Amino acid sequence: VKITQLTDELIASYASVGGINHLDGTNLPSRSGIVSITSDLLHLLFPGFFDDKVTHSSELKMETALLMDSVAGKLEDEILKCIEHRPPNDGAQSNPREAARKLTVCLLEHLPAIRETLSTDVEAAFDGDPAAKSHEEVIVSYPFVEAIAVQRIAHVLYRSEVALLPRIMTEWAHQRTGMDLHPGAQIGHYFFIDHGTGTVIGETTVIGDHV
């Protein structure tokens, strides 16, 4: 069997089997691109913890500025794709690029507040788990830290009604940590999941502080 014949058969299936094709439409958000952005955001939230080299205080401002600029550009592009992918009757934007830029700035403005909340989550884990020897151990080795960090990032985008992107972020974290935390869930301060593999927190969940 020649490759040309196999190609023809596959192309024919594109016509006969609909629903899993995305042809001649708007450019979909890039899963790999969003994963890269999410990883960079984790670096910004936990400087020095997710790097392969020592982060020196003297270089922190320059390195952070470079990473922020890179994240801003990539995030704006992915949010733009999400906006353009919306159905026509779902609040079409007159200037999608400007809307994407504003949403990007909104998320980046929230990073200090997200860091403050995550510090309470780390504290809750340290206080709640007798096996935890240090805050550093919690951040580096407890999967829930990555899961809740990604959820808190994605929640900001979810509240801003950005489609697709928040779900891709949290599903990536789900695959890595075994914890399925929907970006729509409202989760308070001092949150800790011990042995969280298989944990599912749905879209309409509301969790208070110290849980």
pLDDT digits (tens, 9 = 90+) for 48-83: 898 777 778 888 899 999 999 999 999 999 999 999
Mean pLDDT of all residues in 197-208: 95
> What confidence score (pLDDT) does residue 23 get?
66
Cα dist. 69→16, 59, 73, 74, 76 in Å?
A: 45, 16, 6, 9, 11
> What confidence score (pLDDT) does residue 85 get?
78
**Fold observed for domain 29-207:** serine acetyltransferase, domain 1 (1.10.3130)
Instruction: Tell which residue, 168, 117, 112, 166, has the closest CA to residue 145.
Output: 117
88 pLDDT more than 70 = no
pLDDT digits (tens, 9 = 90+) for 115-161: 999 999 999 999 999 999 999 999 999 999 999 999 999 999 999 99
Does the pTM of the predicted model rise above 0.85? yes
pLDDT digits (tens, 9 = 90+) for 104-115: 999 999 999 999
Model confidence at 195, in pLDDT bands (50, 70, 90)? confident
> What confidence score (pLDDT) does residue 206 get?
97
pLDDT digits (tens, 9 = 90+) for 34-48: 999 999 999 999 998
> What confidence score (pLDDT) does residue 25 get?
63
22 pLDDT more than 80 = no
Instruction: Tell which residue, 164, 21, 182, 186, has the closest CA to residue 85.
Output: 164
Mean pLDDT of all residues in 158-171: 94
> What confidence score (pLDDT) does residue 51 get?
78
200 pLDDT more than 70 = yes
